Amino acid sequence: MAGRRPPSPPPEIAGYTHERLLGSGGFADVFLYTQQLPRRSVAVKVMLAHATSPQAREQFVAEANVMAQLSTHPSIVTIYHADTASDARPFLVMEYCPRPNLSVRYRTERIGVAEALRIGVRLAGAIETAHRAGILHRDIKPANVLTTDYGWPALTDFGISVATDAVEETDTIGLSIPWAAPEFFSEGAERGPAGDIYSLSATIYTLLAGRSPFEREGGPNGALDLITRIERDPVPAIGRDDVPESLGQVLARGMAKSARDRFATAADLARAIQRVEQELRLSQTTLDVPDTSWIHVPDNVGEDLRTRARSVVTVNPQAPATTGDPLAGERTVLRPQVVPQTPPDGGASRPRDPHQGAGPGGHAQSGAGQAGAPGQPGAGLRQAAPSDGAPGTPGQPGAANPPSARRRWPVWAAVGGVIAVVASGVIIGALNAPDAPEPTPTVTPTLPPDEPSAAAHPPAPADVEGTREADGTVTFSWVGVEDDAEVTYAWMFTRGAPADDSGETRDTFGATSVSVPAAADYVCISVISIYTETRTVSNESVEGCA
Instruction: Determine the Cα–Cα distance for residues 319 and 332; give it in Å rounded to an integer.
Output: 16
Instruction: Determine the Cα–Cα distance for residues 380 and 133; give it in Å rounded to an integer.
Output: 67
Is 90 in a helix, a strand, or coil?
strand
Say if residue 141 carries a ligand binding annotation.
no
Residue type, 125: G
Instruction: Determine the Cα–Cα distance for residues 461 and 531; give it in Å rounded to an integer.
Output: 12
Residue type, 216: R
Instruction: Determine the Cα–Cα distance for residues 309 and 226; give it in Å rounded to an integer.
Output: 64
Question: Which is nearest to 131 in space by CA: 49, 45, 69, 64?
Answer: 69
- Which residues, 6 or more positions from 208, have their beta carbon under 8 angstroms from its beta carbon? 111, 113, 116, 238, 240, 243
Is 201 in a helix, a strand, or coil?
helix
- Cα-Cα-Cα-Cα dihedral sign, residues 125, 127, 128, 133: positive
How do 28-36 and 16-24 pair as beta strands? Answer: antiparallel
- Which residues, 6 or more positions from 159, have their beta carbon under 8 angstroms from its beta carbon? 59, 63, 139, 452, 453, 454, 455
Q: By the 8 A CB rule, do 461 and 541 touch?
A: no
**Is 40 a residue of the active site?**
no
Instruction: Determine the Cα–Cα distance for residues 91 and 57; give it in Å rounded to an integer.
Output: 10
Instruction: Determine the Cα–Cα distance for residues 354 and 340; give it in Å rounded to an integer.
Output: 8
How far is residue 312 from each of residues 328, 334, 336, 520, measured CA to CA in Å? 11, 6, 9, 89
Active-site entry in 138, 211, 335, 350: 138
Instruction: Determine the Cα–Cα distance for residues 174 and 207; give it in Å rounded to an integer.
Output: 22
Instruction: Determine the Cα–Cα distance for residues 180 and 235; give it in Å rounded to an integer.
Output: 13
How far is residue 136 from each of residues 139, 200, 230, measured CA to CA in Å? 9, 12, 21
Could you tell me which residues are beta bridge partners of residue 492? Answer: 526
Kindly state the helix (H) or strand (E) to which residue 80 belongs, with its residue range: strand 79-84
Instruction: Determine the Cα–Cα distance for residues 235 and 213; give it in Å rounded to an integer.
Output: 7
- Which residues, 6 or more positions from 220, have their beta carbon under 8 angstroms from its beta carbon? none
Question: Which is nearest to 183 in space by CA: 259, 236, 255, 269?
Answer: 259
Residues placed in the known binding site for ATP: 45
Residues placed in the known binding site: 45
Give me the active site residues, please: 138
